[in-house]
Structure 1
Amino acid sequence: MSADVARGHGGDCGGGGDPPRWNSNRIPTSCETSKQKNKRGPSKGKNLEAVWKANGNRPLPVLFDKSFEGTYYGLGDNGTKMNTLLGSLVRTLVPPYYLSWDEVPVEVKAPIIPRVETFFDIGRNTHDWERINVGLDRYCARRYADNKWKLHDYFKKQGGRNNVARARRNPPSRLTLETWNQLIDVFLNQKWQDRSNKNSDNRKKQRFSSFHGTRSYINTRFKKMNPETKQIQGAIENWHDNHFKENRGWANEQARLAYEQLVVEKQIQSQHATSSSANGFVVNEGAIFSKVFGDRRGHNIGLGRKLKRPSGLPCSSNTSTPSSYETMKQMIQGAQEASDRHHE
């Protein structure tokens, strides 16, 4: 399967630590993620400033996934750097006390796209822009939810609903007391509690264990692109690699059985093509995954997210962008340091 991507066109468009303190006027300048139990090596995000300078201080091109229904997830080194910057901006520019990302006011989200465009060409003037923007919005929603759950874990450790008074007296060092109490009000909201319980139940129902952690399926496939043919790894082969290790075997029995079903369906599809003498036949892995796993709202198992929402991030050309080099350097530094501690 060749790389099916959307791209910009040259940059001519405009845990151990506490959870982050929110300040709407502050640009990310330091690592603002909780510690990971397992440390990893130096992140490629460390080179963001160097890469940006080497590109003449012009926006870096980003590839976006268009395979199957299109996740429009940022791919490759530049995509990873962009995702890291997005996460850093969400953590520092958006207060955590909204019930969900979709309820964050437009004016609060407005600075995100212009600041990302300082460093990355995200295809504003391409025909894919609407879908790209929705993909960026959904990535921000994921990061916003992840940050809120970390804060919720901190809330529970400080007493949670069993000792709300104690929790209110002990805000994380990076949140103001006012912001912390507004967030606690959200945690005590019945709608939040119902959603929390539902998500907990859904996690218990997950059938497939895996070894790929928080990395997206499409990025693990993209990283295994054939350098000569420019073909990214097939989704079925990727399922095998993400759920099987030579020294550990299958992540669980369900993952093994699913892989066997995928292989069988691929063989059936190929046999039908042979019997009908179809020319130029290409295996439709999207159809195979849909048949094996069924359809799910918002997500294709083994392939990634679905983009159904019509709206994306606000991107008015009237929104001001940071212009001074020092301001941009601070933004890059924040993305670099967050990348070193947060696995995107």
Structure 2
Amino acid sequence: MADVARSHGGDGGNDPPHGHHPTFPTGCQVSKPKKSRLNGRNLNLYVEFQRNGNKPLSIEYDTTKQQFRPVGEHYQMFVRLLSNEIGRHVPYYYSSWKNVPNELKRSIFITVSHYFDLASYHRSEHWEGIKTGIQSECANLFKGRKAKLKRHFDMVGGVNDIEEAKRNPPKRMLSDTWVELIDKLFATREHANRCAKNKENRAKQLYGSYHGSQSLANRRYKDVKETGHANYVKGWEEMHHKKGKWINEKASQDWNKIANKYNESLKKSNGDKALVNELECLTEALGPMRSHIKGVGRKLKSITPDPFPNANRHEEDERWLRQEKALEEVRQQNELLKYQMNYLLKATNTQIPCSSHQLDEDDEEDEGDEDDEEDGYIPVISDDFDLSF
């Protein structure tokens, strides 16, 4: 059975993490989006966020084999937001995610924390794993975005005609940004060597899979919701067999090995499927892998060292208490500012003669402005507040 960690959803209130301005759309972007994939991709997230009273949305994590992958109702919006924030803030000329500066990673992390309830995990046993899982997700998304740009680079000239490639940037990318990417990454000898090595590794791959855009972790999550347990063996079959055909002959042969191991285990358990260790069947049939767990996915590895490697639990708790105290002080200051603004507005209205009809309209506009200010207020507190990786 897959292990799932759940956030409470919205416990953080409608105040975003402080010390940073998270990116979110204006009212026009939410209500009247253009028919553009770029602008509309996160529309569901912003709508759900507003429906939730501008409070962070819940997010669940699959902790099977310490994978820490986002799953559940909001998982696709979570991953999409990560991808979009990477596209907005991170230059693509970094050779890998581990080389991206921590301040850029931190800005993405804080924006994601504004929309999703990560705060409820802060003191849980899963928090360190979840932070690593988020970084792993970012690394994959960053790699995927760069791969698309590299394909475009190869199509418009590549290393054989770099000047021609520079004259043909992808749509929605500035020419200067494209040239910088080519000069700092695509045209370098180090990158060319890395691409050649990756090509060799891909050639060694026996076969792919049909799981599409849905993660293995979310497949497990749905299995558990529908059947009560994760169907690892059936899932492997579905991801390698489509429309009556196997991906290739090797996949068909491996399936026969898996089926034989599963039937042996089922026989030993007197036909009780609940007693069959399906992950063990997959590993015994296909053999172990250094970078993957059969039926689960790629092994999670640390991308960036813990910024507080020597901090003990007591120090962690003290830091969170300081942050909570600072948050409360900011909330009180915010309430005081609102009171002062209301007082000044009322005093101004009593001094300016106008018709009752005009006064009513002005009051309505003022109330709307106050609501917008409260929802979008981004106070700044001390440097002790830390949500970095």
Q: Bin the TM-score by the shorter chain.
A: 0.7 to 0.9
Report SS of the residue matched to 1:60: coil
Distance in 1 between residues matched to 2:47 and 2:9, nearest whole Å: 18
Paired residue for 2:238, among 238, 241, 246? 241
1:194 equivalent in structure 2: 193
Map 1:1-344 → 2, pairs under 5 A: 1=1, 3-13=2-12, 27=23, 46-67=43-64, 69-122=65-118, 123-185=121-183, 186-227=185-226, 231-245=228-242, 247-272=243-268, 282-309=275-302, 311=304, 325=375
Distance (Å, rounded) in 2 between the aligned partners of 1:250 and 1:127: 41
One-letter amino acid matched to 1:53: Q
SS at match of 1:64: strand
Question: Does the 8 A contact of 2:266 with 2:273 survive in 1?
Answer: no
Letter in 1 for 2:56: P
**Cα drift, residue 285 of structure 1:** 2.5
Q: Distance in 2 between matches of 1:96 and 1:327?
A: 31
Name the CA shift for 1:144/1:314 in 2 (closer, same or farther; >3 Å).
Answer: farther
Once residues 155 and 324 of structure 1 are traced to their aligned partners in structure 2, the CA distance between those partners, rounded to angstroms, is 45
Structure 1: distance between partners of 2:376 and 2:297? 37
Structure 2 CA distance, aligned partners of 1:117 and 1:143? Answer: 18
Number of residue pairs matched?
A: 299
**Contact residue 269 and residue 276 of structure 2 kept, 8 A:** no
Instruction: Kindly state the Cα deviation for residue 75 of structure 1 after the two structures are TM-superposed.
Output: 0.8
Q: Do the aligned partners of 1:299 and 1:305 also contact (CA within 8 Å) in 2?
A: yes
How far 1:64 sits from its partner (Å)?
1.0
**Partner of residue 355, structure 2:** none
- Please provide the CA RMSD for this pair: 3.5
| Aligned match of 1:331 | none
Q: What is the CA-CA distance between 1:190 and the residue it aligns to?
A: 2.2
Change beyond 3 A, Cα 1:215–1:280: closer
2:205 alignment partner, SS class: coil
Deviation digits for residues 158-213 of structure 1 (CA, Å, limit 9, x no counterpart): 21111111222333343334332231121122221122112222222222243322
Q: Separation in 2 of the partners of 1:313 and 1:298?
A: 22
Looking at structure 1, the residues matched to 155 and 45 of structure 2 have their Cα atoms a distance apart, in angstroms, of 36
Structure 1: gaps spanning 5 or more residues: 15-24, 34-41, 329-344
Q: Verify the 8 A CA contact 1:109 1:314 in the aligned structure 2.
A: no
State the identity %.
32
Q: 1:128 to 1:28 in 2, by over 3 A?
A: same
How far does residue 226 in structure 1 lie from its aligned partner after superposition? 4.4
| Unaligned stretches of 5+ residues in structure 2 | 14-20, 26-33, 309-318, 328-372, 379-389
Q: CA deviation at 1:26?
A: 10
- Distance, in Å, in 1 between the alignment partners of 2:111 and 2:49 is 14
Larger RCO (CA within 8 A; separation ≥ 6)? 1
* Deviation string, structure 1 residues 230-271 (Cα, Å, up to 9, x no partner): x244110111122223x4332322222222222222233344
Distance of aligned partners of 1:298 and 1:266 in 2 relative to their CA distance in 1, 3 Å threshold: same
Q: 1:242 to 1:312 in 2, by over 3 A?
A: farther
Change (3 A) 1:107 1:82: same
Cα separation, partners in 2 of 1:312 and 1:304, compared to 1, 3 Å: farther
- Larger Rg computed on CA atoms: 2
Q: 1:172 to 1:296 in 2, by over 3 A?
A: same
Contact 1:60 1:121 in 2 (8 A): yes
Q: What is the letter of the counterpart of residue 157 of structure 2?
A: G
Q: Distance in 2 between matches of 1:248 and 1:126?
A: 45
The CA distance in 1 between the partners of 2:158 and 2:5, in whole Å, is 45
Quote how far apart the aligned CAs of 1:94 are: 0.7
The DSSP-based 3-state class of the residue aligned with 1:121 is coil
